[in-house]
Amino acid sequence: MTMNYFDMHSHILPGVDDGCKTVEQSLELINIHLKNGVKNICLTPHYYSNEISLEDFADARDEAFEKLKPRLPEGVTVCLGAEVYVSKYLFNNSDISRACYGKSRYMLTEFPYNSSFTGKSLDKLLKIRDNYGITPIIPHIERYPNVFEDEGTLEELTDMGVIIQTNVSSFEKFFRRNRILKLIDRGLIHILGTDAHSLNRGNPDLYLQACGFIRKKCGEERLVQMQKTAEEIFSSAL
């Protein structure tokens, strides 16, 4: 059976953030994904809630997507979302659903990398979950050293329903890869993303390589479970 692959974090949408600048650059990355059999892609440009209103960001994102949409190749399915930098200003909004993945109640939530998800950072995470009814997804967990090396905190976050994402580019470094694989094996990392900005930053070609490492070290069943988790989020967004 052919596996259904999902890139849950990318900066492929053109002209919105520090990712792709043109539609042509976006299509180059999308076509790499298609060549590798990755047909489901989340477009999650940075949303800095301390710099711009959610309404202005979402309008700019939607406008960019309208330019890309007519040129999307056959066979690819995309959903719009955001990588949300969580600041106190985010909570000035009574409704933050436009920053979620499409129609879903899942949100990619970025915090300062020194966060330990205790104190204020944990309060914000819980506020997103409890006050807005949105499931937070923490991107590229390997960039949070206080948490990446603390399995107890990762277990607590997972028990809270928080979803943890890792970047496929992080599998290129041996020691980091081994740590990521250990956490995947324990069920403490749940989904994959490229965090693709360009061919030189998060190249989509690395996606299947990362899946190969997971399959070899953690087993086919674990990889299938990760893709099923991604599919649940993706499907709820459409």
Q: What is the mean pLDDT of the chain?
A: 97
Buried residues in 119-152 as b, exposed as e (16+ CB within 10 A): eebbebbeebbeebebbbbbbbbbbbeebbeeee
- Alpha-carbon torsion 136, 215, 4, 169, what sign? positive
Looking at residue 169, the DSSP 8-state letter turns out to be: G
Average pLDDT over residues 77-86: 98
Report the pLDDT value the prediction gives residue 214, as an integer from 0 to 100. 98
How far apart CA 233 and CA 238 sit, in angstroms, is 9
Report the pLDDT value the prediction gives residue 24, as an integer from 0 to 100. 97
Please list, in sequence order, all residues whose beta carbon lies within 8 angstroms of the beta carbon of residue 13, skipping any fewer than 6 positions away: 19, 20, 26, 43, 45, 61, 64, 65, 68, 80
Tell me the pLDDT tens digit for each residue of 145-194.
999 999 999 999 999 999 999 999 999 999 999 999 999 999 999 999 99
How far apart CA 108 and CA 110 sit, in angstroms, is 7
Q: DSSP per residue over 91-147, as a string? A: GG-S--GGGSSTTSSEEEEE--TT--SSHHHHHHHHHHHHHH--EEEE--GGG-HHH
Whether the per-residue pLDDT at 1 is higher than 80: the answer is: no
Tell me the pLDDT tens digit for each residue of 82-129.
999 999 999 999 999 999 999 999 999 999 999 999 999 999 999 999
pLDDT-derived band of residue 64, with 50, 70 and 90 as boundaries? very high
Task: Specify the pTM.
Answer: 0.97
- Please state at what angle helix 207-218 crosses helix 220-237, rounded to 10 degrees: 130
Report the pLDDT value the prediction gives residue 238, as an integer from 0 to 100. 97
How far apart CA 133 and CA 20 sit, in angstroms, is 31
Tell me the pLDDT tens digit for each residue of 3-18.
899 999 999 999 999 9
| Distances, alpha carbon 83 to alpha carbons 100, 183, 184, in Å | 9, 22, 22
Q: Is 55 helix (H, G, I), strand (E, B) or coil?
A: helix
Copy the structure tokens of residue 147.
């948490």
pLDDT-derived band of residue 2, with 50, 70 and 90 as boundaries? confident
Tell me the pLDDT tens digit for each residue of 8-59.
999 999 999 999 999 999 999 999 999 999 999 999 999 999 999 999 999 9
Contact assessment for residue 13 and residue 65, using Cβ atoms and an 8 Å cutoff: yes
Give backbone dihedrals phi and psi of 106, rounded to 5 degrees, phi first: -120, 140
